[in-house]
């Protein structure tokens, strides 16, 4: 079993489908990681319920930490979480991380990941961007983070919303260093 430890942060940006699909796909590749933990922002559950029409976030198969729980194992570098995925990532969360404001568990964990030179993936779900957003993306990129906008691709000819959203989630899993079965450029799209 891999020693990979992943924290998933879910913010109140639109795009709960991405977080839901990521959680499901991680469950299908359990042999590639040994720990997953989740933290929600204040608005994330409200957006999930609005967009997905359910409260499945209450039944996730991984530990969920409160956003004020600074005793969570990923609030310290000694917890050795090597990957953090913020999905979807609000521009407010992005801005606080870029400015080093660790006012909750999400921003503290991101700060830890960056200071330890580990992998931070921010799945930004906003459009259009203003200059402040762009500068914050630049700051996080220069600090070692990865900005992965929630921009689906279409060359695999997705037929459903879930298939289109999966093109983003599969890219995130690739960025996290996980091996997944997905459409690869040069392959024939499924029909």
Q: Over the chain (191 residues), what is each successive 10-residue block's mean pLDDT?
A: 88 98 97 97 96 96 97 96 98 98 98 98 96 98 98 95 97 97 79 53
Computed over every residue of the chain, the mean pLDDT equals 95
Dihedrals phi, psi of 38, to nearest 5 degrees: -130, 145
pLDDT value, residue 2: 61
pLDDT value, residue 189: 62
Please, what is the Cα angle at 149 between 87 and 102, to 5 degrees? 50
Q: Could you state, in order of their start, the residue ranges of all structural domains in the chain?
A: 5-175
In the chain, where does DSSP find H-type helix? 16-28, 44-52, 91-98, 105-115, 131-142, 161-175
pLDDT value, residue 190: 59
Query: What kind of fold does domain 5-175 have according to CATH?
Result: Rossmann fold (3.40.50)
Provide the whole-model pTM.
0.95
């Amino acid at each position: 079993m891999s020693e990979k430890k992943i924290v998933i942060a879910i913010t109140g940006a639109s795009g709960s489908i991405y977080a839901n699909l990521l959680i499901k796909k991680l469950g299908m590749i359990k042999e590639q990681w040994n720990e997953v933990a989740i933290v929600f922002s204040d608005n994330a559950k409200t957006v999930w319920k609005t967009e997905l029409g359910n409260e499945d976030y209450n039944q996730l198969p991984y530990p969920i930490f409160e956003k004020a729980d600074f005793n969570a194992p990923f609030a310290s570098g000694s917890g050795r979480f090597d990957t953090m995925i913020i999905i979807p990532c609000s521009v407010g969360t992005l801005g606080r991380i870029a400015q080093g404001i660790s006012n909750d568990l999400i921003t503290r964990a991101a700060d830890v990941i960056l200071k330890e030179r580990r992998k931070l993936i921010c799945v930004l779900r906003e459009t259009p961007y203003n200059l402040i957003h762009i500068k914050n993306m630049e700051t996080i990129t220069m600090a070692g983070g990865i900005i992965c906008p929630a921009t689906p691709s279409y060359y695999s000819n997705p037929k459903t919303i879930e298939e289109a959203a999966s093109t983003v989630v599969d890219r995130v899993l690739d960025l996290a260093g996980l091996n997944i079965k997905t459409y690869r450029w040069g392959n024939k799209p499924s029909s």
